[in-house]
A = this chain, B = another copy of it.
Amino acid sequence: MSFKPSIPKGTRDFGPLAATQRNYIFETIRKVFELRGFRPIETPAMENLSTLTGKYGDEGDKLLFRILNSGNFLAETDKTVVLQGNSQAVASQISEKGLRYDLTVPFARFVVQHQNEIVFPFKRYQIQPVWRADRPQKGRYREFYQCDADIIGSSSLVNEFEMILLIDNVFEKLNIKTHIHINNRKVLFGIAEAFGFGDSFQDFTVAIDKLDKIGSDNVKAELTATGIDSAKADSILELLSFSGGNTEKLSKLETIFTASEIGRRGLDEMQEIFDYITNYSGDAKVIFDLSLARGLNYYTGAIFEVKAADHAIGSVCGGGRYDNLTGIFGLPNVSGVGISFGADRIFDIMEQSNLFPEHIESSAKIMFVNFGQAEQKAALEVIDRLHKEGISAFLYPDTVKMKKQLQYADQLRVEYIAIIGEDELKTNTVSLKNMHTGEQTSCTTEELIGLLK
């Protein structure tokens, strides 16, 4: 039988090295979250379809993975619908649950469902996989992790600053140079209003959101297609590409927003956030990026997007302020700010630039060669002592040729090899070999512990 097992397209197996590297990313992010007082929650992989559908637009609904009802699911199906061949109508009759599409909607659902137990302002983080029935392609998977943090139940702008610090901390610890792009939906609305786009704000943001991808000529074409005249479109594009510093941008916009109250409120918000940043000693490069729009409609204030400085890989983190995220589930007007780290892109950058610490490649600090029953027993005793000291160690399980055992240790990138053979048994010592330098020594168990610690 030449049957070769496989996994569904768009999904991945992670072997020991990749899984360890991914855990390193998750743990680094988790530690920063916890250092700043965020606490974990977990929600089920499956949500009721009533929770998921209608939240991601028609396109999003199509990308939901649906779970077939258990048991005799056909019993209550309208057979005529089946015969008509309407898959969508049938799907809603035979499936009630779906896999979560992101962590934002489950978070909103969680907050509403548990509103009486939650202590607000609620600082939560969540690191879990999500699933999308997207067409798989390079860098796009059907199962991938999101790492989200939110502060909900507080409208203080110090939370926006908190998020900037958090982002800065995470990427500093991961050793990835980034720029944090920040804009504000109110400022964008101000620009739209100033140029007569107040009524078609959605079209406006959709168009300028593409500036990076399709270039200014094409964005201009999209803007004029909505009815605006060519000169105005040019003025907008000129404004969006204004190359001054953050303070100069604020000043310039102030002269434009004389008639836009919302725009001016946006500027006040940005001013306060930049005041916090000025006082901060960190490395964060925060860029007031007027062309940043982020399509998601639930954002109402500051929006963030983080780009790796030396990689043309798109955004590695994004987020923003929302004022009514939980409204979809019946709890209106709860303001919050959230960000989401994209673990897959972070992984790609770290792999390309060799940013993972070397030690995570090794299976253990030390492997003991196996020479047979008597030697095994002595080795197991030493290993037990090493484990008590928190030093990772293991015995090769089989008594096979030394060459094979050393090759194994090499493949697993073990740092040291220990030998307890006949001679060492007599003298109660361990012969040690450093796999990097080739250096060899002989030592007692106590000396070994001292050396490895």
Contacts and interface: CB of A to CB of B under 8 A. Distances in A.
Contacts of A154: 397-398
Nearest to A414: B37
Contacts of A247: none
Interface string A144-164: 000000010011101101100
A12 B44 contact: yes
A12 B41 CA distance: 11
Given A87-B75, A123-B363, A397-B162, A380 B276 contact: yes
A204 interface: no
Interface string A258-285: 0000000000000000001001111000
Nearest to A155: B398
Contacts of A47: 7-8
A113 B4 contact: yes
A40 B68 contact: no
A329 B5 contact: yes
A129 interface: yes
- State the copy count for this chain: 2
B40 A13 contact: no
Nearest to A364: B37
A97 B8 contact: yes
Interface in A340-375: 363-364, 367, 370
Interface string A109-150: 110111001110101100001010100000000110000000
A66 B68 contact: yes
A392 B65 contact: no
Given A15-B117, A110-B13, A117-B15, A91 B68 contact: yes
A330 B42 CA distance: 37
A330 B1 contact: yes
A241 interface: no
A178 interface: no
Contacts of A367: 37
A255 interface: no
A309 interface: no
A87 B73 contact: yes
Contacts of A43: 7, 13-14
Interface residues of A, number: 115
A40 B16 contact: yes
A82 B79 contact: yes
Contacts of A94: 68
A311 interface: no
A280 to B, nearest CB: 7
A422 interface: no
A82 B87 contact: no
A253 interface: no
A42 B68 contact: no
Contacts of A85: 72, 74-75
13 contacts: A3-B329, A8-B96, A13-B42, A16-B39, A16-B124, A35-B393, A45-B99, A45-B129, A46-B142, A46-B143, A82-B83, A156-B398, A280-B380
Interface of A: 1-8, 11-16, 19-20, 22-23, 34-37, 39-48, 51, 62-63, 65-68, 70-75, 77, 79, 82-83, 85-87, 90-91, 94-97, 99, 109-110, 112-114, 117-119, 121, 123-124, 129, 131, 133, 142-143, 151, 154-156, 158-159, 161-162, 165, 169, 276, 279-282, 329-330, 363-364, 367, 370, 376-377, 380-381, 384, 387, 390-399, 408, 411-412
